[in-house]
Amino acid sequence: MKYTSSEANKLLKKLNADYQTLLSLEAQSRTFLAATGEDIDSVRPAYDYAKTQADLKALAKKIRQVRHAISLFNVTTTVPGFDMTVDELLVYLPQLSERVNTLDGMRTKLPKERERTYGSGTMATIDYRYVNYDLDVVNADYDEAYALLAKAQTALDRLNNTSAIEIDF
């Protein structure tokens, strides 16, 4: 069956949630408490060990298949407009985000800023912190990095919502 990368990732998330739910239900029903003298069968939760194990095994296999298909897509598909595969871009995006955040912090600094004052009265010493870079260059680099980040995210979103992945169950 064909899925877009975005659909496959949502399917993977759903399968993992289903798997965790089944594990949780099993943990709650594989043992139970009954009071002395209580009819054990009236408080016994429904639980079929063989069926539960088969269901867990089937879900685990589907999870592996979907993960594998997504991984293959990520390592073999080049993102349009970038000379990178999806997996490379997924590493590049956080690097680029970190650069944008750093440049944003740098561009919001004043060229000269009072740091602290030592002493009091006429004998006070004032320290100033100075930027050691050209604010215009940092602003230009920020604009460029921000635009590149937006372009990369948009290209990845477009690819994830249009390219098909074949997943055989």
Q: Give the relative orientation of helices 5-29 and 135-162 as an angle to the nearest 10 degrees.
A: 70
Please list, in sequence order, all residues whose beta carbon lies within 8 angstroms of the beta carbon of residue 107, skipping any fewer than 6 positions away: 135, 138, 139, 142
Q: Tell me how far apart the 2 most distant CA atoms of the chain are, in Å.
A: 90
pLDDT at res. 117:
72
pLDDT at res. 121:
67
Q: Which two tokens stand for residue 94?
A: 């956080």
pLDDT in tens, the chain (169 residues): 999 999 999 999 999 999 999 999 999 999 999 999 999 999 999 999 999 999 999 999 999 999 999 999 999 999 999 999 999 999 999 999 999 999 999 999 999 999 877 767 667 788 899 999 999 999 999 999 999 999 999 999 999 999 999 998 8
- DSSP structure class, residue 108: T
Task: Give the separation between CA 117 and CA 98, rounded to whole angstroms.
Answer: 33
Residue (of 165, 158, 109) closest to 136 by Cα position:
109
pLDDT at res. 125:
84
User: 30: buried, middle or exposed (CB in 10 Å: 19+, 13-18, 0-12)?
Assistant: exposed
